[in-house]
């Protein structure tokens, strides 16, 4: 006998130890690199404090939008243990629909009307975008995911990627490649100047709206009967059904909530970036997914926190590390890879590993 079970086991443990050592070394190298860039490039450029504050505020705005989208990933994962990779497209559809609603409102001159009219019209535009996203989200659940509920976990994932491509290219086919541009009404075009820091109104509105929507979601989940049922279904579907909970209905509502938040994000991102097109859900979708993973997927406060953190890192990162801003996406996705290597359960991720993982 050359290889007893004991030696096999020892070899396995050894392999794991050297892997852990490798990731530790890798972590140290990355940390040193970041420190080196920040001290030699970021800080030596001599940017004024107001610059950093402006960047941070931009980051929070972007983070708020990511948070709304990230919540959709995390809600669905919490209940179905699947990543809805078409969620970015659900957001994009909200943005596209919001664009047409805005066109409609502008054609009727509502956007130049008294401020109350503009505010109501903007709210309506957002609701219409949200409604469109809800419709798409619920359809996805019904057609692309529910039939695969008993299938191995990889299968709905592939279905999600297929749905994502289907939605992108359907929009491309219907509306063409050229971006649709959101024209901001004059009422929200300016901004607020505090010393050297400029805060655009849209940024402030997006941030505040995101926070309000997140609070609303948190209230629904923690304080209402529906939210309690959602949490029960997330923990144990069959026991929840023994309590009289219609599990399918709860899953549909989960998709509705996640999609509504994504729709709001889509419209707000339209105003923020001024353009929407068939693929404008792709990158934000991946970023929001990164944010959800950063916070620990399935964890609701984690998704909010992870998204705000990611927004900040993306906004400050390029200047701090001395990287051209065109490469800011590299930072987000490097971060995703790093989390998956070092802390796959995310920053608050103990929830995931409980029993179903």
Partner 1 sequence: MLKLDSVHTYYGHIHALKGVSLTVNEGEIVTLIGSNGAGKTTTLNTISGVLSARAGAVYLQDTTRKAGEQHGNGRDGDIRLDQLPAHEVARLGVSQSPEGRKIFARLSVQENLAMGAFARTDADGVRLDLERVFELFPRLKERLSQPGGTLSGGEQQMLAIGRALMSRPRILLLDEPSMGLAPILVQQIFQIIREINAQGITILLVEQNAQAALQVADRGYVLETGNIVLSGAAGDLLANPQVAEAYLGI
Stretch of 42-50, 161-169, 243-251, 278-286 lying at the interface with partner 1 (CB under 8 A): 243-251
Stretch of 66-74, 213-221, 231-239, 256-264 lying at the interface with partner 1 (CB under 8 A): 231-239
Binding mask 174-213 for partner 1 (x = CB under 8 A): ----------------------------------------
- Going by the DSSP 8-state scheme, the letter that residue 195 receives in this structure is T
- Nearest in space to 229 (alpha carbons), one of 252, 204, 206, 259: 252
- Nearest in space to 88 (alpha carbons), one of 178, 181, 174, 160: 160
Contacts of 27 (CB under 8 A, 6+ apart): 342
- Nearest in space to 135 (alpha carbons), one of 285, 262, 288: 262
Out of 119, 231, 275, 323, the residue judged to bind partner 1 by CB under 8 A: 231
- Min. distance of Cβ 223 from partner 1 in angstroms? 11
CA distances 86 to 117, 167, 194, 289, Å, are: 34, 8, 40, 11
Out of 11, 25, 208, 243, the residue judged to bind partner 1 by CB under 8 A: 243
Stretch of 152-160, 176-184, 245-253, 307-315 lying at the interface with partner 1 (CB under 8 A): 245-253
Q: Which is nearer to partner 1, 116 or 242 (CB)?
A: 242
Binding mask 208-227 for partner 1 (x = CB under 8 A): -----------------x--
Q: Which is nearer to partner 1, 319 or 345 (CB)?
A: 345
Out of 134, 240, 257, 297, the residue judged to bind partner 1 by CB under 8 A: 240
Q: Are strands 180-181 and 197-200 parallel, antiparallel or unpaired?
A: unpaired
114 three-class SS:
coil
Applying the rule CB under 8 A, the residues between 46 and 85 that interact with partner 1 are none
> Do residues 47 and 266 make contact, with C-beta atoms less than 8 angstroms apart?
no
As a whole number of angstroms, the distance between CA 91 and CA 85 comes to 11
Alpha helices (H) in the chain, listed in sequence order: 5-37, 49-80, 87-107, 115-140, 154-175, 201-223, 225-235, 237-242, 247-273, 282-295, 300-321, 328-342
Out of 235, 275, 279, 330, the residue judged to bind partner 1 by CB under 8 A: 235
Applying the rule CB under 8 A, the residues between 308 and 347 that interact with partner 1 are none
Q: Which is nearer to partner 1, 129 or 302 (CB)?
A: 302
- Min. distance of Cβ 221 from partner 1 in angstroms? 12
Contact footprint for partner 1 (CB under 8 A): 225, 228-229, 231-232, 235-236, 238-247, 354
């Amino acid at each position: 006998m050359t290889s007893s079970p004991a030696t096999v086991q020892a070899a396995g443990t050894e392999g794991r130890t050297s892997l852990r050592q490798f990731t530790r070394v890798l972590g140290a190298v990355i940390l040193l690199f970041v420190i080196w860039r920040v001290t030699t490039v970021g800080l030596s450029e001599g940017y004024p404090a107001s610059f950093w504050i402006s960047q941070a505020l931009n980051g929070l705005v972007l983070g708020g939008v990511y948070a709304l989208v990230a919540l959709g990933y995390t809600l669905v994962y919490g209940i179905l243990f699947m990543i809805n990779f078409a969620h970015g497209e659900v957001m994009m559809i909200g943005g596209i629909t919001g664009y047409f609603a805005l066109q409609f409102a502008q054609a009727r001159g509502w956007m130049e009307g008294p401020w109350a009219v503009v505010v109501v019209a903007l709210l309506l535009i957002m609701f219409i975008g949200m409604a469109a996203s809800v419709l798409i989200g619920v359809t996805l659940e019904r057609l692309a995911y529910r039939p695969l509920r008993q299938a191995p976990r990889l299968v709905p994932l592939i279905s999600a990627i297929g749905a994502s491509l289907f939605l992108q290219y359907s929009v491309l086919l219907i509306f063409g490649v050229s971006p649709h541009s959101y024209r901001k009404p004059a009422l929200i075009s300016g901004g607020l100047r505090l010393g050297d820091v400029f805060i655009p109104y849209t940024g402030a509105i997006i941030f505040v709206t995101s926070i309000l929507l997140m609070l609303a979601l948190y209230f629904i989940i923690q304080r209402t009967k529906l939210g309690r049922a959602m949490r029960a279904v997330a923990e144990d579907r069959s026991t929840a059904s023994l309590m009289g909970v219609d599990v399918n209905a709860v899953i549909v509502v989960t998709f509705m909530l996640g999609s509504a938040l994504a729709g709001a994000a889509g419209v707000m991102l339209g105003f923020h970036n001024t353009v929407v097109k068939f693929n404008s859900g792709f990158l934000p979708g991946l970023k929001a997914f990164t944010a959800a993973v950063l916070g620990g997927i399935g964890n609701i406060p984690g998704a909010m926190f992870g998204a705000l953190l990611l927004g900040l890192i993306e906004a400050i990162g390029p200047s701090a590390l001395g990287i051209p801003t065109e490469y800011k996406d590299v930072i987000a996705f490097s971060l995703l890879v790093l989390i998956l290597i070092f802390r796959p359960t995310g920053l608050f991720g103990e929830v995931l590993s409980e029993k179903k993982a």
